[in-house]
Homo-oligomer: A and B are copies of this chain.
Amino acid sequence: MELYSEPLNVDKITSKWYKESSNLNYGAFITFIGTIREEDGIEALSFDIYEPILKKWFETWQEKAEERGAIVKMAHSIGDVPINKSSYISAVISPKRRVALELIDEFVEDFKANAPIWKYDVIDGKRVYAKDRSTPMRGAGILAKESN
């Protein structure tokens, strides 16, 4: 897992991971690259990350991948990332095609739902929490339940 306090250098990161995959004699390598789109007048997106829980989340995925003979990779930016730059890359390295295709889907979707990262639109230099695009994490709402 790699965190950068700047936009991601996509070529450099994916090239490094690809080299690792071919040195390991693994046949399938998939990358998912997320890039900031120009929309709704934003000039950038900005990210807060809670690293201790992100690290545990990622370790759990490393174990799940290992059980299927694969390796997962992830890079994310902290702070502002301007439009047309990348904030997020994940990858699966696997001996087998099917495992790679299934794992990248599950890994990216669970990342979206459960990685402790908060997103803000940057408009006129101000950060606005992207509340409508955010997802309550697994276990959310526990403090609002009636206790018994």
| Contacts from A to B (Cβ < 8 Å) | 10-11, 14-15, 18, 21-23, 25-38, 83-86, 95, 97, 100-102, 104-105, 108-109, 112
B35 and A21 contacting across the interface, CB-CB below 8 Å? yes
Q: In the complex the two chains form, what is the Cα distance from A84 to B25 in whole Å?
A: 6
Contacts of A84 in B (CB 8 A): 22-23, 25
Contacts of A100 in B (CB 8 A): 32
Stoichiometry, copies per complex: 2
**A97-B108, A105-B101, A105-B105 known; A29+B33 contact, CB < 8 A:** yes
CB contact between A10 and one of B18, B23, B95, B109 (< 8 Å): that residue: B18
Q: How many whole Å from A75's CB to the nearest CB in chain B?
A: 14
B36 and A27 contacting across the interface, CB-CB below 8 Å? yes
Q: In the complex the two chains form, what is the Cα distance from A36 to B86 in whole Å?
A: 29
**A14-B14, A18-B11, A22-B84 known; A104+B35 contact, CB < 8 A:** no
Q: How many whole Å from A96's CB to the nearest CB in chain B?
A: 10
A28 and B22 contacting across the interface, CB-CB below 8 Å? no
CB contact between A30 and one of B21, B23, B95, B104 (< 8 Å): that residue: B104
Supply 7 further A-B pairs (C-beta < 8 A) apart from A18-B33, A28-B33. Answer: A14-B31, A25-B37, A25-B83, A27-B36, A29-B31, A37-B95, A101-B104
